[in-house]
Structure 1
Amino acid sequence: MTKNIKYTWILSLLILFSSCSKLDLKPTDTIDAEKAYRNMNDINLGLTGVYAQLDYALVGINAIISDEVMLPAENTVSNTDAHRWLYTADNGSVTAPYYSYYVAIDRTNRVLAGLDKITVAAADVATRDRYRGELLALRAFCHFELLRMYGSAYQSGALGVPYMKASVISYPARDRFEVVAADAKADLLAAKALIPSSFDDKTRVTKIAVSAMQARLALYEKNWTEAITYASEVISSMPLATADQFPDIWTDANDQEVIWKLKRVGDDEKIGDLFYRQASKIVLYAPSFKLINSFDQVNDIRYKAYIKFDNTRGEKKSAYLVNKYPGTALAPGLADIKMFRTGEMYLIKAEAEAESTGDAAGDLNALRAARIKDYVPVVFAGKDDLINAVYTERFKELAFEGHRFFDLKRRNLPVQRLPEDAINTSGAIRLLPTQAQYSLPIPALEISVNKNTVQNPNY
């Protein structure tokens, strides 16, 4: 053994023994809950960080891959693979929310862990409990949104997503649909008991917002009794906006019938830019003619609130624009994101009634009467007629709010675009439930790193 090799070998042993003697030290690149969360103010900051992580990704995905929008020729600046159904597991336009929602979930679990470790004064117990309720509700909400996006189907036995109840480094397998639904229901029940009825900040999760989450979850479970119960709780507490109030919801001039919204304040949070690029005046995605034609354009107050017609934009420019998030003159396109509204609750209740009691006409007609001038109530021929009418109304009422693609998937229906809505999509007119893209892919990186997960069918 040469002199240099011998010294190198001895030095290596010293380093090894030194390292082994320090394995009980806490890592220096993380902050444990005891240090990060020391008081109620820290907890509130962490909770605010969870809300801040949520965005309008679901609005964009539902519009772009469904039949809500069409691709105008003027859009030569954005990635249109998602609209053409060319996405794969490597396509960030459909896989990015997988990571962003799990970041929100991880933040939630870290704050919950911190909350468990702090001691609060008697005067702060109610606030502590409310924070816990908000966190549990947010954890349920995020997992359910992931399930809507990445679940292989909305039925028992179908591949869902991992339900993470703690911030740990692991290789979680995909929980089945019914497991995710059950865990989310448990978190929502616990949350509801912790949030006081007097708490009414619509930019945060309130008790009535938990009821709205429960109603939506029950709808996807096909638990018609719970869907009716929870939707009714919301309807009785939060009336529909009047015809005069409704258009102002989308400019944030009022928040009538808004149950929960995400407050948007900065230029990088402009939901209007999803459809219309303000700086360059380019329509990225225009309302589909299928959607436009579904409205009574004269009497339905939703038409002008959702869709703008401007035939002065010039040749080869779309005359139709999404008008649902116009913002203000000082901040065009900047508007709060409406997560739950009473209008959705009427439709949840109507669908659940149509599927169970058969008595959906009253709720459906009540919603239409609030939206359509001089509306005459309709008598429906039977269950199928009622359910088809509910889905048509969801198409109109909830346009550009993050539901259309999921609604079609709930009924195992194809995405069917009109020929005039597909002139720039290279023939992407019909997406069948048997095609891979009918379910969004789990990100390729997740598949390659997590040895216990699997991809959705056909990818």
Structure 2
Amino acid sequence: MKKIFNINKLVLSFSLTAVFLFGSCESALEVEPRQSIDANGALSSPDAVDAAINSVYARLRSVRNYGRDLFALADALADVGQTTSNSGRLIGENNNQPNAHFQAGFWQNSYFAINEANLIIDGLAGVQGASQAQRDRWEGEAKFLRALYYFDLVKVYSYIPTAVYQPGVIDQGGIPLVTQGAITSDAAFNRQPARASIDAVYDQIYSDLEDAKRLLTSRGVQYASSAAASALLSRVALYKGDWTKAVAESTLALNSNVGSVLSGNAYVSGWRSPVNPESMFEVRFALAEESIGVNESLQSSYTALLNLTNKNSQGGWGDFIPNATVRGFFGLTQLQIGTPATDNNNWDVTRNSDIRAQLYTTGNTVRGAGRQIECTKFLSKSGFAYADNVPVIRKSEMHLNRAEANYRLGNITEALAELNTFKGLRGLSAVTLSGNAILEEILLERFKEFAFEGQRFFDLKRNGRAIVKTTPNVNVQFDDFRILPPIPQREVDGNPNLNQNRGY
């Protein structure tokens, strides 16, 4: 098994990156993984495996993944906000223009990470001096990460099981599903997988997360854990329409000691903490040199502020701001609170009783669009600019997942009770509803809770709903080809078995 021990010479070389990912692209290596294996190293020691695992985690920080696109670009595609034209970014996505969607770098970076995870899993038997506990942790973390990357890919490039447009006629299937690492250039060149079925991809995600649940404990929310695997599985099950599973996994996650469900001012303070106490799994930016920078970070995308201490300090671009719908949710209008009016610190917003309104304020006049109402969920909370830790899964989501799944199972009393419990956490009064109005209220709470966290586009997609906006004026029906992005053309050109999504 010598080839397993020396995989890193291939994995970390740019040439194999280009080969495995069906075509090279500079964006695939936007984030150089910290603590990744040296090109001359080998997967033969515990330290080497830890470094390899860290590399898979590190790729989540890419701008094309959780560094920006899975949150900001996804919400720009949806009906959450509008662009300011300060830098020109996200305008095409917000207008839902053809080809303005998830980019090739997302596909490539994700498949590179999957290949790394596959090679780690393949090579564990050859690691010398490792305990069984270490082997379990490595396998569990690699499978959790592989499941997360596959879930992100399939929810973007394919229809979601609960809403497939004309299955078997228009549906192009899932995504290529590869569970063995490519350790030679010949193997990578000759591997030309077709798109697996959507169900097959979800089955693989289920399998990986079940293994992760069994193998893992917890060593901090920046790492995979058994509870985080249950939390992610609850979301996957919701997308799959596996309502019973969604209830069960949400319950396991809520009963775990990983993360906390916050309310009131503690909820707001959680967004100001380096590590959000609600996080069950988050992407960690630990060092200033990991900062994405002023152009494409989440902070820069959402606000022109550098911090809340002095609103006059020039920060990011503030490219994507809440639209009238989101402003209406929280009663947000600009409010002068002092003089002179030219001082940005003398401006704030009106707010209603919803505690989430505290996560919005006015920006500054530094950029061309002038002072706007902005979201401040990501605002230098790690102690340095443009590198906020990103909560991938928050514990509060489990309440909404379980409420929706119970409604769809016909457990109406339980669904309404959980919805009202959640509304109480956010300072809202209980509602008395029946029938479909309960589901609509649950989905509305998801909209409000996860605004600027990238979930709205996929909630619309999994429910087969149109994307309707007034600013900009957009109406994208569910049967419109723009719901799916194009698979990178280089991948299609280099693989005769890979079908392109329709319309491209």
TM-score range, shorter chain: 0.7 to 0.9
1:193 Cα offset (Å): 1.1
Compared CA separation, residues 330 and 433, structure 1 to 2 (3 A) = same
Verify the 8 A CA contact 1:137 1:205 in the aligned structure 2: yes
TM-score (norm 2): 0.77
Separation in 2, partners of 1:328, 1:342 = 19
1:280 Cα offset (Å): 6.3
Structure whose alpha-carbon radius of gyration is higher: 1
The aligned counterpart of 2:103 is 94
| Cα RMSD (Å) | 2.6
Separation in 1, partners of 2:161, 2:354 = 32
1:399 maps onto 2:434 in alignment: no
What amino acid does structure 1 have at the position aligned with 2:495? N
Separation in 1, partners of 2:368, 2:53 = 49
Separation in 1, partners of 2:208, 2:196 = 16
Verify the 8 A CA contact 1:286 1:322 in the aligned structure 2: yes
Verify the 8 A CA contact 2:486 2:500 in the aligned structure 1: yes
Compared CA separation, residues 239 and 361, structure 1 to 2 (3 A) = farther
Any gaps of 5 or more consecutive residues in structure 1?
A: 1-25
1:285 Cα offset (Å): 1.1
The aligned counterpart of 1:6 is none
Verify the 8 A CA contact 1:252 1:336 in the aligned structure 2: no
Compared CA separation, residues 240 and 190, structure 1 to 2 (3 A) = same
Verify the 8 A CA contact 2:363 2:373 in the aligned structure 1: yes
Compared CA separation, residues 280 and 342, structure 1 to 2 (3 A) = closer
Where 2:47 maps in the other structure, the secondary structure is helix
TM-score (norm 1): 0.84
Aligned residues between the structures: 416
Mapping 1:28-427, distance limit 5 Å:
30=10, 36-55=42-61, 56=66, 57-72=69-84, 74-78=85-89, 80-88=91-99, 93-121=102-130, 124-155=131-162, 158=171, 159-168=173-182, 169=188, 170-196=191-217, 199-237=218-256, 238-253=259-274, 255-264=276-285, 265=287, 266-268=290-292, 270-276=297-303, 281-295=316-330, 297-305=351-359, 307-310=360-363, 316-328=369-381, 331-356=384-409, 357-358=411-412, 359-372=414-427, 375-382=428-435, 384-418=436-470, 421-422=471-472, 427=473
1:167 Cα offset (Å): 1.6
1:27-78 per-residue CA deviation (whole Å, 9 max, x = no partner) reads: 9973799962011110000000000001322102211111111012x42443
What amino acid does structure 1 have at the position aligned with 2:303? Y
What amino acid does structure 2 have at the position aligned with 1:30? L
The aligned counterpart of 1:453 is 498
1:333-382 per-residue CA deviation (whole Å, 9 max, x = no partner) reads: 4310000011111111011011112231111111111111xx33111121
Verify the 8 A CA contact 2:399 2:418 in the aligned structure 1: yes
1:444 maps onto 2:455 in alignment: no
The aligned counterpart of 2:185 is none
1:251 Cα offset (Å): 2.3
Separation in 2, partners of 1:28, 1:282 = 39
What amino acid does structure 1 have at the position aligned with 2:352? V
What amino acid does structure 1 have at the position aligned with 2:179? K
Separation in 2, partners of 1:42, 1:377 = 53
The aligned counterpart of 1:19 is none
Verify the 8 A CA contact 2:354 2:426 in the aligned structure 1: yes
What amino acid does structure 1 have at the position aligned with 2:97? L
Compared CA separation, residues 119 and 388, structure 1 to 2 (3 A) = same
1:154-203 per-residue CA deviation (whole Å, 9 max, x = no partner) reads: 3575511112101232111111111001111111111211113xx23110
Mapping 1:425-440, distance limit 5 Å:
427=473, 429-440=474-485
Separation in 1, partners of 2:101, 2:458 = 19
Separation in 2, partners of 1:233, 1:329 = 29
Separation in 2, partners of 1:119, 1:27 = 15
What amino acid does structure 1 have at the position aligned with 2:227? I
Where 1:245 maps in the other structure, the secondary structure is helix
1:103-129 per-residue CA deviation (whole Å, 9 max, x = no partner) reads: 1101111222221222335xx221221
Any gaps of 5 or more consecutive residues in structure 2?
A: 1-5, 13-36, 183-187, 307-313, 332-350
Identity of aligned residues (%): 24
Separation in 2, partners of 1:302, 1:28 = 46
1:304 Cα offset (Å): 1.7
Verify the 8 A CA contact 2:101 2:485 in the aligned structure 1: no
1:370-400 per-residue CA deviation (whole Å, 9 max, x = no partner) reads: 111xx33111121x10110011101110111
Verify the 8 A CA contact 1:271 1:337 in the aligned structure 2: no
Verify the 8 A CA contact 1:68 1:288 in the aligned structure 2: yes
Verify the 8 A CA contact 2:274 2:389 in the aligned structure 1: no
1:289 Cα offset (Å): 1.4
Verify the 8 A CA contact 1:163 1:175 in the aligned structure 2: yes
What amino acid does structure 1 have at the position aligned with 2:299? G
Verify the 8 A CA contact 2:82 2:321 in the aligned structure 1: yes
